[in-house]
Chains A and B, each alone.
Chain A
């Protein structure tokens, strides 16, 4: 299995290199450069040209790419012109928020989806299953930003159970216990909003896998051994049905990290999604480029994680 993981890791490396080239080339195609937005319009074109030469902007693209990658590996992603600070510092502030939000919504997703999926699959076509499936269709049809607004309105404003914006209460010092509790508290409502919508696909996957697996021949073998229904479900059907869910797990993380844009803006939650949205609308290109690269790396790592999980749970994948 270790061999498989190492091999899989080795494939990941060229993928990331290729991604960085792609992101860099796309950034080059964008009109303007670092100086067009940054400089006082009264500066003479000659002075600009001198600056361009000094900053290496007239070099061929591969030299510039080399400079860019050189900066990347040292953690230098450039400057945000809007925030007037290093992109690295800007993003690292947001990354933790997004990771926290993703973890919270993942937790809620699986804690809700797995029991519902099991019930729905085991007692398929029962009234309970119809109810759960009905909820799934509703969830599929509901746009997340509308749902998040309703959640915010009901639990944030009317009931006042949860804070309505931000990622931490003002006036708390980083590092104290209260600070972390406040962080978690702020992530609960957006996390739950994401989870209640994203559970539906997991429920339906699990349900259809269970319905499928329980008709397989080895289930008959298990029954013929004298295993009780509960044992058949727990030992044979459940694990086999989890395979696609496990395969989905890495992808789920990726989509959470890059896909919480709407929820973050509804809850004014300072995560990467919100930052991305703002940077695009305000043409803060160095931030956009860095984020696109980061999201890309996240999805490559997500796929890697999925493969590793799958190789652990499914012996057929392990390569000798």
Chain B
């Protein structure tokens, strides 16, 4: 019996724009072990959320190819009714924006009870209520009995995010996906929510995929980190290795962009993430943002190379990457 909970192989998620399909997630291969926290980082538009939604199959109009297996059940091919049995039960998700993720017309208690009702028919009405209040207490909501009867608009953003977490963990999922759970919250609340997730990690024994663009969060919470750029995983490594020995130019640039003390200028990555329609489909996708690296150093079809145990990096250009010293070279490429 392996320790493997989730296996993603050659996943490609495409959206239709006009008459053509464009892949937002392209050739992603990942595994997640039981009780492990995998951080996924990347800029906005790098395909992190598209990946999370693919795992839950929450895209309504997307073409998903490849393989996603949760406990050896292939989610990509699964029937809707089977899918509904495992969503909210074996796998659950915490969403980005707590202000819009709850039904405005339904009391908090009933929103939690719905997921209990859908997956545990034996629990009676009273049992559901008790469990809902227990969950509210578990996520650190004071006066749970009162909140049980309240509506979402009566709660603050942080409280609502706690409720969403309560819904996600209601049926003790084996896989919990947290899609930028703190992005929409202000800083003090962010810290509280992260503390809560860390605390729950010990209690619920789930494999967690933590999607974020906050490297600090990843450093604190994750066991392994996958860095995504333009729909692909460009580097994946145990968390300490990634921070000690980042290899891919994009990872290096990201880490270099974190402000540190005594720094007079903040490093900026040139350009922007290309839009879905303009993604380079061949060659190294990061090449155009590091023009000073000679084109011959990029692979034609970059693949993930294992450079040390558990540490993979895409494209060999990392061997030749450096940060240029002067501004001119940075802007004009190699002279």
Q: Do A and B come from one complex?
A: yes
Which A residues fall within an 8 A CB radius of B?
Answer: 216-218, 220-229, 235-236, 239-240, 313-316
Q: Given A220-B58, A222-B103, A240-B104, A229–B119 Cβ distance below 8 Å?
A: no
- A47 smallest CB distance to B (angstroms): 69
22 interchain pairs, CB-CB under 8 A: A216-B100, A218-B104, A224-B92, A224-B93, A224-B95, A225-B114, A225-B118, A225-B167, A226-B86, A226-B89, A227-B84, A227-B118, A228-B81, A229-B80, A235-B114, A240-B103, A240-B105, A313-B105, A314-B104, A314-B105, A315-B104, A315-B151
- A225: chain B residues at CB < 8 Å are 87-88, 92, 114-115, 118, 167
Top-10 shortest CB links A-B? A226-B88, A217-B100, A225-B88, A225-B115, A226-B87, A315-B151, A226-B84, A218-B103, A217-B101, A224-B93
- A223 smallest CB distance to B (angstroms): 6
- A226: chain B residues at CB < 8 Å are 83-89, 115, 118-119
Contact indicator B167/A221 (Cβ below 8 Å): yes
Interface presence of B43 (CB below 8 A): no
Tell me which of A223, A236, A316 contacts B151 (CB under 8 A).
A316
- A315: chain B residues at CB < 8 Å are 104-105, 151, 153
Interface presence of B50 (CB below 8 A): no
Which of A218, A240, A314 is most buried by chain B, counting CB atoms within 10 A of its CB? A218
Contact indicator A228/B84 (Cβ below 8 Å): yes
Contact indicator A227/B114 (Cβ below 8 Å): yes
Q: Given A217-B101, A218-B100, A224–B118 Cβ distance below 8 Å?
A: no
Complexed CA–CA distance, A221 and B88 (Å) = 9
Complexed CA–CA distance, A220 and B95 (Å) = 9
Contact indicator A224/B58 (Cβ below 8 Å): yes
Complexed CA–CA distance, A224 and B118 (Å) = 11
- B93: chain A residues at CB < 8 Å are 224
Contact indicator A221/B95 (Cβ below 8 Å): yes
Digitize B57-77: 1 where CB-to-A-CB distance is under 8 Å, 0 elsewhere: 010000000000000000000
Interface presence of B56 (CB below 8 A): yes
Digitize B257-287: 1 where CB-to-A-CB distance is under 8 Å, 0 elsewhere: 0000000000000000000000000000000
Q: Is the interface of A mostly helix, strand, loop or mixed?
A: helix
Contacts A220-B95, A221-B102 supplied; 5 other A-B pairs, CB < 8 Å: A222-B114, A224-B95, A226-B115, A227-B118, A235-B114
Interface presence of B164 (CB below 8 A): yes
Which B residues fall within an 8 A CB radius of A?
Answer: 56, 58, 80-81, 83-89, 92-93, 95, 97, 100-106, 114-115, 118-119, 151, 153, 164, 167
- B119: chain A residues at CB < 8 Å are 226
Contact indicator A221/B164 (Cβ below 8 Å): yes
- B101: chain A residues at CB < 8 Å are 217-218, 220-221
Complexed CA–CA distance, A226 and B119 (Å) = 8
- A219 smallest CB distance to B (angstroms): 8
Contact indicator A224/B56 (Cβ below 8 Å): yes
Complexed CA–CA distance, A222 and B164 (Å) = 11
- B85: chain A residues at CB < 8 Å are 226
Contact indicator A316/B81 (Cβ below 8 Å): no
Which of A222, A223, A225, A228 is most buried by chain B, counting CB atoms within 10 A of its CB? A225
Complexed CA–CA distance, A235 and B97 (Å) = 21
- A217: chain B residues at CB < 8 Å are 95, 97, 100-101
- B252 smallest CB distance to A (angstroms): 35
Which residue on A lies nearest to B177, using beta carbons?
A224
- B80: chain A residues at CB < 8 Å are 228-229
- A224: chain B residues at CB < 8 Å are 56, 58, 87-88, 92-93, 95
- B84 smallest CB distance to A (angstroms): 5
Complexed CA–CA distance, A82 and B55 (Å) = 77
- B89: chain A residues at CB < 8 Å are 226
Which residue on B lies nearest to A235, using beta carbons?
B114
- A220: chain B residues at CB < 8 Å are 58, 95, 101
- B114: chain A residues at CB < 8 Å are 222, 225, 227, 235
Complexed CA–CA distance, A240 and B93 (Å) = 23
Which of A218, A226, A316 is most buried by chain B, counting CB atoms within 10 A of its CB? A226
Which residue on B lies nearest to A236, using beta carbons?
B103
Which residue on B lies nearest to A224, using beta carbons?
B93
- A106 smallest CB distance to B (angstroms): 24
- B52 smallest CB distance to A (angstroms): 10
Contact indicator B153/A218 (Cβ below 8 Å): no
Complexed CA–CA distance, A222 and B102 (Å) = 9
- B145 smallest CB distance to A (angstroms): 18
Which residue on A lies nearest to B114, using beta carbons?
A225
Q: Given A224-B88, A226-B87, A226-B89, A316–B104 Cβ distance below 8 Å?
A: yes
- A222: chain B residues at CB < 8 Å are 103, 114
- A8 smallest CB distance to B (angstroms): 20
Complexed CA–CA distance, A240 and B56 (Å) = 24
- B127 smallest CB distance to A (angstroms): 17
Complexed CA–CA distance, A226 and B91 (Å) = 10
Complexed CA–CA distance, A135 and B77 (Å) = 39
Which residue on A lies nearest to B85, using beta carbons?
A226
Complexed CA–CA distance, A227 and B81 (Å) = 9
Complexed CA–CA distance, A240 and B114 (Å) = 17
- B135 smallest CB distance to A (angstroms): 13
Complexed CA–CA distance, A223 and B167 (Å) = 12
Which residue on B lies nearest to A228, using beta carbons?
B84
Which residue on B lies nearest to A227, using beta carbons?
B118
Complexed CA–CA distance, A220 and B93 (Å) = 10
- A310 smallest CB distance to B (angstroms): 12
Complexed CA–CA distance, A226 and B121 (Å) = 13
- B92: chain A residues at CB < 8 Å are 224-225
Complexed CA–CA distance, A240 and B152 (Å) = 14
Complexed CA–CA distance, A240 and B167 (Å) = 20
- A239: chain B residues at CB < 8 Å are 105
Complexed CA–CA distance, A216 and B102 (Å) = 10
